[in-house]
């Protein structure tokens, strides 16, 4: 059984563990010792360590043949120091991992003014958050290239699940943009993202990026309208783009400001990935059947 180390032991990792625990020996880095029991009960061996504290990472060197890196970058600056600390901790052993699977974001593409985007599209990275993601991807590519390690980069859009929906935004009645000016965005069910990481684990490639987005880009307002209708909440008011910008927080605006439609062709063709949830609509339809 190969040993895999999970970095970024959060929601997507927790959905992935049951899919692979019979096929791999799993370790999970926990920065909060209180969560160690949870990860042990799930079937992993927890290791206490914090990517923000390089001294705490000594135990992860040489421990596994594979690494799932699902941790987000630090909150400030334009460099991902967490990934830097991870690479430096892994490099302390002569026994390096053979494969790294990294969850990045489709935010690296920046604003594409509603155009179609694939993995070869020129990046128009704008937000500081996305700049740190590009830095993380580049650090991992350099490490993988110098050390002959396989690297899979999974670029995820807005992650959702039945228990992970932005219903508070609707109940707060925060405005959205009118249909004419609205941006395009993409989604992925958290379980499908976890499944794509498992699929990648068995198909190692040399520094290959995949868009892990479902089949149906949506306008942001349409996404919220679907949720509102499904959960019988009031639809959000629609205003002109400039008005919305002045009302909502900077971080919420950064998601609305960028518009792109992303294709998943490489994921479905090269990795033969099949979605459990090919669209948000299909997920809500399944929920209706369960109700
Ligand atoms: N939200 C979205 O729509 C979206 C979109 C695209 C990509 N992503 C990215 O996809 C990845 C997986 O998502 P997710 O939903 O599983 O995220 P999540 O539930 O927030 O899990 C991320 C985990 O990383 C851990 N972590 C953060 N900083 C750490 C540190 N300094 N040292 C050790 N562990 C640390 C967190 O630990 P704690 O439990 O201690 O906080 C958390 O459990 C994340 O990188 C996320 O940013 C998210």
139-146 long-range contacts, CB within 8 A, separation 24+? 139/80, 139/83, 139/84, 139/87, 140/69, 140/83, 140/87, 140/100, 140/102, 141/207, 143/87, 143/91, 143/100, 144/100, 144/206, 144/207, 145/207
Ligand 1 residue neighbourhood (C-beta within 6 Å): 8-13, 29, 31-32, 50-52, 70-72, 82, 103, 105, 156, 158-159
Averaged over 9-25, what is the pLDDT?
Answer: 97
How remote is the CA of residue 229 from the centroid of ligand 1, in Å?
30
Pocket test for ligand 1, best of 67, 70, 90, 165 (most atoms within 8 A of CB): 70
How remote is the CA of residue 248 from the centroid of ligand 1, in Å?
24
Residues 227-285 have pLDDT tens digits of 999 999 999 999 999 999 999 999 899 889 999 999 999 999 999 999 999 999 999 99
Q: Give the position, in ligand 1's atom list, of the atom nearest the Cα of 31.
A: 33
Residues 44-96 have pLDDT tens digits of 999 999 999 999 999 999 999 999 999 999 999 999 999 999 999 999 999 99
For residue 4, the surrounding DSSP H or E stretch is strand 2-7
Domains of the chain in start order, with CATH, are: 2-161+189-215+262-279 (3.40.50.720)
């Amino acid at each position: 059984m190969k040993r895999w180390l999970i970095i970024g032991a959060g929601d997507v990792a927790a959905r992935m563990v049951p899919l692979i625990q019979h096929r791999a020996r799993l370790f999970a880095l926990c920065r909060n010792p209180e969560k160690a029991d949870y990860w042990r009960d799930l079937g992993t061996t927890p290791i206490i360590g914090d990517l923000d504290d390089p001294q705490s990472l000594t135990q992860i060197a040489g421990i596994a043949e594979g690494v799932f890196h699902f941790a987000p970058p630090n909150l400030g600056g334009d460099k991902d120091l967490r990934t830097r600390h991870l690479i430096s901790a892994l490099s302390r052993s002569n026994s390096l991992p053979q494969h790294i699977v990294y969850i990045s974001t489709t935010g690296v593409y920046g604003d594409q003014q509603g155009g179609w985007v694939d993995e070869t599209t020129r990046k128009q990275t704008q937000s500081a958050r996305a700049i740190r993601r590009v830095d993380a991807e580049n650090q991992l590519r350099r490490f993988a290239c110098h050390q002959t390690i396989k690297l899979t980069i999974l670029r995820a859009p807005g992650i959702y699940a039945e228990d992970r929906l932005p219903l508070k935004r609707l109940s707060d009645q925060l405005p959205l943009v009118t249909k004419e000016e609205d941006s395009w965005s993409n989604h992925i069910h958290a379980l499908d993202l976890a499944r794509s990481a498992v699929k990648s684990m068995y198909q190692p490639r040399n520094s290959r990026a995949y868009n892990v987005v479902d089949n149906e880009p949506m306008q942001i307002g349409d996404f919220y309208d679907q949720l509102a209708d499904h959960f019988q909440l009031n639809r959000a008011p629609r205003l002109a783009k400039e008005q919305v910008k002045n009302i909502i927080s900077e971080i919420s605006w950064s998601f609305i400001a960028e518009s792109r439609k992303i294709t998943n062709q490489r994921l479905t063709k090269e990795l033969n990935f099949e979605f459990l949830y090919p669209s948000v609509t299909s997920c809500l339809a399944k929920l209706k059947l369960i109700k």
